Structure 1
Amino acid sequence: MGNWIEACKLDDIEQEGAIRFDHGGRSYAIYRSPVDEVFCTDGLCTHEAVHLADGLVMDYEIECPKHNGAFDYRTGAAKRLPACKDLRAYAARVDAGTVLVEVG
């Protein structure tokens, strides 16, 4: 069982957008879906360690800003080369307008 950590306010993330969250020496990306669900993955692309929050979010995919590799941010699954290793995904939820992520 992990620890739920307050990451940001839901309103800090644009719909179909991403935000960077750093905690405990690690970097994460938090996403807001087209229907206001929230998701969290490792923050760095598995191809060249570029921060994904700077990438383009479309539907349920995040596109790496460096080489256009893509991931399904709901599961962390690599969807387009050059990304071929999946991201780790973390549980996320909204409580009273605050985004919480489960890490640990």
Structure 2
Amino acid sequence: MSDWLLVGPESLLAEGEHMTLEVAGDEVALFRSDGTVYAIADVCSHDGAEIASGRIEAGAIVCPRHGARFCLATGKALCAPAYTDIAAYEVRIVDGHIEVATTPKP
């Protein structure tokens, strides 16, 4: 069972925006896409680059360096040059505030 980290009010993350934060010592990127908030590791498994500044396309984040794509909901690597999935974290909204699980999804 995960503990939860309070990120802040829902208004902190507008549609189409992202932010990064540290969760249990790991850099995590939060995105709001189609009304849903997602949290995934802020690292491309291809070369270790940050991915938070990439563009969102069809439920995936596209790494700004080499175009690897990762599912926002699961962290699954969707195309080359990345073949290894990245961590994804549960996100919930409680009383108008965003909370992120402190451990990745299994």
Q: TM-score range by the shorter chain?
A: 0.7 to 0.9
Against the structure 1 CA distance between its residues 52 and 9, is the aligned structure 2 distance closer, same or farther, given a 3 Å change threshold? Answer: farther
Conserved? CA contact 1:45–1:52, under 8 Å: yes
The percent of aligned pairs where both chains have the same amino acid is 26
Rounded to whole Å, the distance in 1 between the matches of 2:61 and 2:8 is: 19
Deviation at 1:90, TM superposition (A): 1.1
1:52-71 superposed matches below 5 A: 52-71=51-70
Conserved? CA contact 1:17–1:57, under 8 Å: no
Aligned to 1:47: 46
Q: More deviation in 4-13 or 25-34?
A: 4-13
SS of 2:52's partner is helix
Conserved? CA contact 2:44–2:63, under 8 Å: yes
Letter in 2 for 1:24: A
* Number of residue pairs matched by the alignment: 103
Conserved? CA contact 1:47–1:82, under 8 Å: yes
Conserved? CA contact 2:23–2:102, under 8 Å: no
Against the structure 1 CA distance between its residues 63 and 5, is the aligned structure 2 distance closer, same or farther, given a 3 Å change threshold? Answer: same
TM-score, with structure 2 as normaliser: 0.86
TM-score, with structure 1 as normaliser: 0.87
Rounded to whole Å, the distance in 1 between the matches of 2:17 and 2:54 is: 9
SS of 1:78's partner is coil
Q: Which runs of 4+ in 1 moved over 4 A?
A: none
Aligned to 1:82: 81
Deviation at 1:63, TM superposition (A): 0.4
Letter in 1 for 2:2: G
